[in-house]
Structure 1
Amino acid sequence: MAVNVRIPTILRTYTGGRSEVQAEGATLAEVIADLEKNHTGIAARVLDDQGKLRRFVNVYVNDDDVRFEQGLETATPAGAGVSIIPAVAGGC
């Protein structure tokens, strides 16, 4: 199942500068594996050493935060939009 993945600026070096790419997979884990296959290095920026989502990376399938769904097992139906959003920190 093909999904559209929105790539944040900081990760576009892995996608040849593209802000959106297609990936295949029935779950978020499969989508990330497909991204890694086609854009080597991107998974290490999204997943930690234990293979879990990095703490400061937010991922949405359509409008749903996967941390409140099934995490990496969140379904990614055909045509879904996946957004990878690095958390922004800062302050005064």
Structure 2
Amino acid sequence: MSVKVRIPTILRTYTGGLSEVEAEGSVLSEVIESLEKNHPGIAARVLDDEGKLRRFVNVYVNDDDVRFEEGLRTATPDGAGISIIPAVAGG
């Protein structure tokens, strides 16, 4: 399934400056694998050493936060929009 992934500014060095890229996969983990295949290094910024989503990275499939869905097993239907959003901290 083909999806569109919105890339935050901080990760655009991996996508040649593109703010949106296409990826393939029926679940989020497959989409991240597809991203890594076409944009090496990006998966390490989204996943931790155990292969789980990093705490400070929020991922949405359409408008649904995957942490409240199925995590990396969240379905990514054809044409879905995926957003990778780094958490912002400060004070």
Q: TM-score, normalised by structure 2?
A: 1.00
* Superposed CA RMSD: 0.2
Count, aligned residues: 91
What is the DSSP-based 3-state SS (H/G/I as helix, E as strand, rest coil) of the residue aligned with 2:82? strand
Report deviation, 1:76: 0.1
In the alignment, structure 1 segments of 5+ residues that lack a partner are none
Q: Deviations over 1:53-75 (max 9, x none)?
A: 00000000000000000000000
* Paired residue type of 1:90: G
Q: Identity over the aligned pairs, expressed in percent? A: 84
In the alignment, structure 2 segments of 5+ residues that lack a partner are none
What is the DSSP-based 3-state SS (H/G/I as helix, E as strand, rest coil) of the residue aligned with 1:23? strand
* Paired residue type of 2:84: I
What is the DSSP-based 3-state SS (H/G/I as helix, E as strand, rest coil) of the residue aligned with 2:44? helix
Moved over 4 A (4+): none
Q: TM-score, normalised by structure 1?
A: 0.99
**2:44 equivalent in structure 1:** 44
* Paired residue type of 2:17: G
In structure 1, C-alpha distance between the alignment counterparts of 2:85 and 2:36, rounded to whole Å: 17
**2:2 equivalent in structure 1:** 2
In structure 2, C-alpha distance between the alignment counterparts of 1:69 and 1:19, rounded to whole Å: 25
